[in-house]
Structure 1
């Protein structure tokens, strides 16, 4: 079986980006663009090795990033050339296999999804060259001297993305035949110029944007806030065996389902809630419960907070004390759980899991305090994941759609069951997140098939 090499091109100077720091080292959602892009391939089970091609001036910074992240698939760090074409060839030429699959990706596209990578590798079973593209939504015009020369029919046009993927022998030959031609910024273009083989097109995603201009950073930041992280499908819940798990809000709803499933799979689960005497709006009570668990187990692997309250009303019509209480539970409660958990999770290199709501993306009338608190939790998770990365603590947030829980029933009354998520589905996804190695991610649970 051929090995799959990912070559990440991170050697661009970012002239159009207009920033002192190259765009691959700009931070978005707590991580550099380089980190986001490398992690996509690090987490893909089909990728065997990752080769990073960089600007020589930033070699030391890149080495620090590699060490910090403990990536296991990065096998080469190469100084790039003065052009994209030259950098691409440096990466390709470093592969000594007689034949292999080569997946070349622009570092400036940190939203590539796992399906596109898998589809490209699958297509290489039949084709020697594969491109990724999406249909053109805008009218494309051909211009000469500021005068429209032609308006090609949009149905035959697509917008190219990366990765571009090849059999090693094909792309090596294309570069060797084009040594003196510097008019290309596209590897597939080299293959087509010399008519080496057909180039198959895998459908891309509109979210797979390239960060080119300063405005793109703001767009990317919002996309990361809304991003749905994809979990590996092969995480067995049996891996929960002997894990020590603490659940705040574990007496009902999603928390109760998490507890029951975890215990069935051999975990040691310790639940508390307001009804059991622990008010998460009181930091001392959170500290006390965690101390109690630790005294018994001498270990805490995972901490989950599902506790929350949901109240209806216009801000102008609610009392300040009522608003404050809701905020103290829904937002400060998560901060209390996170802060009190850190010493224990440092010791175990464990995981913290908080809960948002689909209302975090846009505030909803009559639920302004609830929506804003949930938006705050997402930002809290993204910030904590960066703060705690060197402590090897993973921090994530579950974002379930409307879920069939007692809290929802009390607020909305009876609703058609088919319009609501089964809390068991949310619970299973939550436990798989705890067992995964992802951090700083918003994990959507949108339907009962997730």
Structure 2
């Protein structure tokens, strides 16, 4: 089979769904991976050239089964987008170990497990890995001890992947989104937080899911053939403006 394929985790909504649609638009087949079976199947039913697979990326057995299913169905795996993630915000002293491990198991362990399982397939085609971190992994902020630390680890894991897998022609890069106008963000961000972000971001607005997806798709394309080990902050310039916002301290 010669049609290029890609695996997108966390594909049932948000950035993962937007990325899926952009890959489809350029002619790739997409394996849509998510642990929310109902949402995944509902979205996949509206698309063509997709393979929905219910999988919790923090579970080694499920990841192994998912990767085998995708490889059998598609015959090849050209790119892996490690987008699945969870957010848990709160003060350090209120973050229990259970909450800490819940975030790490998906945000970090999931990236490790999916990448490791995909490597044999990516070697055959000199494929690409794109890991989704966050601006919270590049700059400290309040209430993000587990989330921010997990995303900082993803940035370093990306560099480890680039250093070790480059000899096989596999490129590994990372995208660190800033504030993105998702339905969830708009539901939980207060007017005060929205105004604070507007003032702190040089472009004076939230990003869109499609804008993040465009960077991901670029990193998997031939136009990025000499780009590896990099983290691109798709954040409207937010990283350049300092750390912490008073509106995000409680």
TM over 0.5: yes
Q: Secondary structure at the match of 1:429?
A: helix
Give CA-to-partner distance per residue, 1:96-127, whole Å, 9 cap, x none. Answer: xxxxxxxxxxxxxxxxxxxxxxxxxxxxxxxx
Give the corresponding residue for 1:350: 127
TM-score (norm 1): 0.44
Deviation at 1:419, TM superposition (A): 2.3
* Residues in 1 aligned to 2:60 and 2:209: alpha-carbon distance in whole angstroms: 28
Query: What aligned pairs does 1:267-416 form with structure 2 within 5 A after superposition?
Result: 267-276=28-37, 277-409=54-186, 411-412=188-189, 415=194
What RMSD in Å do the two structures reach over aligned CA positions? 1.9
| Structure 1 residue 409, shift from structure 2 partner | 3.8
Alpha carbons 1:252, 1:406 under 8 Å: kept? no
| 1:443 match | 232
Aligned length: 208
**Contact in 2 for aligned 1:309/1:407 (Cα 8 Å):** no
How do 1:138-287 and structure 2 match up within 5 A?
242-276=3-37, 277-287=54-64
Counterpart for residue 18 of structure 1: none
Extract unaligned runs of 5+ from structure 2: 38-53, 199-203, 238-250
TM-score of the aligned structures, taking structure 2 as reference length: 0.78
Greater RCO, 1 or 2 (C-alpha within 8 Å, sep 6+):
2
Structure 1 unpaired stretches of 5+:
1-240
Contact 2:135/2:235, CA 8 A, preserved across alignment: no
- Return the alpha-carbon distance in structure 2 between the equivalents of residues 246 and 413 of structure 1: 34
Partner of 1:372: helix, strand, or coil?
A: helix
Structure 1 residues 308 and 390, CA, compared in 2 at 3 Å: closer, same or farther? same
Which residue pairs with 1:156 in the alignment?
none
Q: Which has the larger radius of gyration?
A: 1
1:423 aligns with 2:184: no
Question: Offset of 1:322 from its aligned partner?
Answer: 1.7
Structure 1 segments, 4+ long, off by >4 Å, are: none
Q: Assess if the C-alpha contact under 8 Å between 1:310 and 1:411 holds in 2.
A: no
The Cα of 1:279 is off from its aligned counterpart by 1.0
Task: Name the structure where helix makes up a greater proportion of residues.
Answer: 2
